[in-house]
Structure 1
Amino acid sequence: MRIPFSGPVANKRGRVVVVTGAGSGIGRAIALRQAAAGDIVIATDIDLAAAEQTVALAAGACHAYALDVRDPERWASVTESVISRVGVPDILVNNAGIAVGGAFFDQTPRDWENVMAINVHGVVHGSRVVGAKMVASGRPGHIVVIASGAAWTPNRVAPSYSASKAAALMVAESLRTDLAPRNIGVSAVCPGVTRTRLAANATLASGRDTAAAEEFRAHFADAQSRYSFATPDMVARAVQRAIRFNLAVVPVNFDATAAWVLHRLSPGLLRAICSIPTMELAQSGASLAFERLPARLSFHRD
């Protein structure tokens, strides 16, 4: 019997934790934190070398697997391998994600398909394959979806990203209602802007990948690094809270929490605020910050 308000696997030791996108950023921070806590971590990434780097940094049991979350057959293969090696996963963290920058009419159907394939279908495939094994085992478990404050923040700069994260959030909430009777918790962890390489790795829509676009990408990545409120480890700690207390939705940092409150209290006002930024304003603002503000000026100290 567990104490009230604790998650199904909150007090279990040596849990098997599968993390997607664990080769860098938030995924790596989650993998390292869970390994340090005594869990057996399965660090998966489409880039196996990056996952192996995470394993090398881990202070605990951590194993690397190559996994393209878009491929349900690869999900099945990796899951069977994990079960043979260390047992049925106790926790799944759906973290892998991408972003495409560009206004709505600049983003092509292929742009939307690429974002949805990873940010939404990747969550669905992983939750179906690993979740089914959890259910079949008859043991408690927990599934975490790394959504985003973008899930409740409409925007003109990356509409496909916001739409995909809203969909991922609803997948998590729907799955939570479905799996609760089976003693499997489901949480959506929603960071705001976080110091990762999401901006640096983002695709720019409508053939924007020119020299000017590359300059914009570099400036925007610099702004993300300097002015983000959250670190990957803050998100990793939020994941631990979500698992410990079986929380449904967890906004992580100031901007995500403020947007969530405004979304609940006055969605019209939030839409009005979000209608201000455009790609042009984002480009000029990032360039101005890069060129005019001292490098030491940031929201954090490394």
Structure 2
Amino acid sequence: MVRLPFTGPVANKQERLVLVTGAGSGIGRAIALRQAAAGDIVIATDIDLAAAQQTAKLAQGACEAYALDVTDPAQGQQVADTVIARFGVPDILVNNAGIALGGAFLDQTPQDWEKIMAINVHGVVHGSTIIGAKMVERGQPGHIVVIASGAAWTPNRVAPSYSASKAAALMVAESLRTELAPKNIGVSAVCPGVTRTQLAANATLVNSGTPATEEFRAHIADAQARFAFATPDMVARAVQRAIRYNLAIVPVNFDATLAFVLHRVSPGLMRWICSIPTMKLAESTMRMAVDRMPASIAFHRE
């Protein structure tokens, strides 16, 4: 297929097969729904099969649900083999599955680090290795998307393991892009800022070894819903742009873009800014924002 400069390898292909991990909710669901509505055949995977099936029901287009724990490469291979036997090799892989973990560096245990790295980094590696190898073997154009985060450029005292995991995921995408470019396979890292999902509300939160209270979780969920700059559909649109134009890195919305710029222009300033928030300050700020600001004040309204 002849394609114009600055267009992605599969930008003009019709009825593409798109596999999305973590598609049971939030950003993953928005990506799956948007790709299905665009005429693609979507494979919505999630560790929670019922959630993936709900995504498939909501899709206005072809969408199939499969259970997938991205930390299990054997299960990843099994799902890939099943999908390929039925539909063929995916044209697009979106590595979206991820978790968050909050708490000071010295409060987080080795088990905390292993858990977040297993999903946010190794999950990306497993999916990209399994599907990427099939793309190369097929010898046709393809595209791999990694949902990283603006946290990849944000050293901080509140979620150091999350930032580290997303920085690693970003570098996986950049390294893979250099390797697969000669194979006509694009690789993009899409980096959202704070997004209106349940990621933070469902996160593991530690404070001197003590789990966060349910009240604190409720404040996080409320604050994220009201004050996040980005919506899941904004991220899904960014994924479409990344695929259409084969973009290497796509910051999503104001906060991620600001982090991207500051990290490059003045890393020292970025570190100083990020050294200010602590878990205690973050908790008190969210309480004040939720309790004192009118409910009508929000960055996004439905």
Which bin holds the TM-score, normalised by the shorter protein?
A: over 0.9
Report the 3-state secondary structure (helix = DSSP H, G, I; strand = E; otherwise coil) of the residue aligned with 1:204.
strand
Report the 3-state secondary structure (helix = DSSP H, G, I; strand = E; otherwise coil) of the residue aligned with 2:61.
coil
Output aligned runs, 1:100-179, within 5 Å: 100-179=101-180
Give the Å deviation of 1:15: 0.4
2:17–2:43 Cα contact (<8 Å) kept:
yes
Per-residue CA shift, 1:52-101, capped at 9, x if unaligned?
00000000000000000000000100001101111100000000000111
Equivalent AA in structure 2 for residue 226 of structure 1: R
Q: Which residue is 2:266 aligned to? A: 266
State the alpha-carbon separation in 2 of the partners of residues 96 and 25 from structure 1: 10
Give the Å deviation of 1:295: 1.2
Q: Which residue is 2:248 aligned to? A: 248
State the alpha-carbon separation in 1 of the partners of residues 56 and 300 from structure 2: 27
Q: Which residue is 2:93 aligned to? A: 92
Report the 3-state secondary structure (helix = DSSP H, G, I; strand = E; otherwise coil) of the residue aligned with 2:201.
helix
Equivalent AA in structure 1 for residue 136 of structure 2: V
Moved more, 20-29 or 199-208: 199-208
Give the Å deviation of 1:207: 4.0
State the alpha-carbon separation in 2 of the partners of residues 14 and 182 from structure 1: 21
Report the 3-state secondary structure (helix = DSSP H, G, I; strand = E; otherwise coil) of the residue aligned with 1:201.
coil
> TM-score when scaled to structure 2?
0.98
Q: Which residue is 2:77 aligned to? A: 76
Give the Å deviation of 1:297: 1.0
State the alpha-carbon separation in 1 of the partners of residues 246 and 264 from structure 2: 22
State the alpha-carbon separation in 1 of the partners of residues 200 and 108 from structure 2: 16
Report the 3-state secondary structure (helix = DSSP H, G, I; strand = E; otherwise coil) of the residue aligned with 2:43.
strand
2:108–2:209 Cα contact (<8 Å) kept:
no
2:216–2:283 Cα contact (<8 Å) kept:
yes
State the alpha-carbon separation in 2 of the partners of residues 296 and 46 from structure 1: 35
Equivalent AA in structure 2 for residue 282 of structure 1: A
Q: Which residue is 1:217 aligned to? A: 217
Give the Å deviation of 1:208: 2.6
State the alpha-carbon separation in 1 of the partners of residues 205 and 264 from structure 2: 31
State the alpha-carbon separation in 2 of the partners of residues 98 and 185 from structure 1: 25
Per-residue CA shift, 1:163-184, capped at 9, x if unaligned?
0000000000000000000000
Report the 3-state secondary structure (helix = DSSP H, G, I; strand = E; otherwise coil) of the residue aligned with 1:198.
coil
Q: Which residue is 2:49 aligned to? A: 48
Q: How many residues align?
A: 300
Equivalent AA in structure 2 for residue 271 of structure 1: R
Report the 3-state secondary structure (helix = DSSP H, G, I; strand = E; otherwise coil) of the residue aligned with 1:200.
coil
State the alpha-carbon separation in 1 of the partners of residues 211 and 156 from structure 2: 21
> TM-score when scaled to structure 1?
0.98
State the alpha-carbon separation in 2 of the partners of residues 190 and 149 from structure 1: 5
State the alpha-carbon separation in 2 of the partners of residues 279 and 190 from structure 1: 23
Structure 2 residue ranges without an equivalent (≥5)? none
Report the 3-state secondary structure (helix = DSSP H, G, I; strand = E; otherwise coil) of the residue aligned with 2:79.
helix
Alignment partner of 1:38 is 2:63: no
Report the 3-state secondary structure (helix = DSSP H, G, I; strand = E; otherwise coil) of the residue aligned with 1:128.
helix
| % identity of equivalent residues | 78
State the alpha-carbon separation in 2 of the partners of residues 37 and 128 from structure 1: 26
State the alpha-carbon separation in 1 of the partners of residues 257 and 15 from structure 2: 32
State the alpha-carbon separation in 1 of the partners of residues 201 and 56 from structure 2: 23
Alignment partner of 1:208 is 2:199: no
Q: Which residue is 1:182 aligned to? A: 183
Give the Å deviation of 1:209: 2.5
Equivalent AA in structure 1 for residue 231 of structure 2: T
State the alpha-carbon separation in 2 of the partners of residues 114 and 201 from structure 1: 14
Give the Å deviation of 1:185: 0.2
State the alpha-carbon separation in 2 of the partners of residues 256 and 180 from structure 1: 26
Equivalent AA in structure 1 for residue 32 of structure 2: A
State the alpha-carbon separation in 2 of the partners of residues 209 and 268 from structure 1: 32
Report the 3-state secondary structure (helix = DSSP H, G, I; strand = E; otherwise coil) of the residue aligned with 1:114.
helix
Equivalent AA in structure 2 for residue 17 of structure 1: V
Give the Å deviation of 1:291: 1.3
CA RMSD, 1 decimal: 0.8
Structure 1 residue ranges without an equivalent (≥5)? none
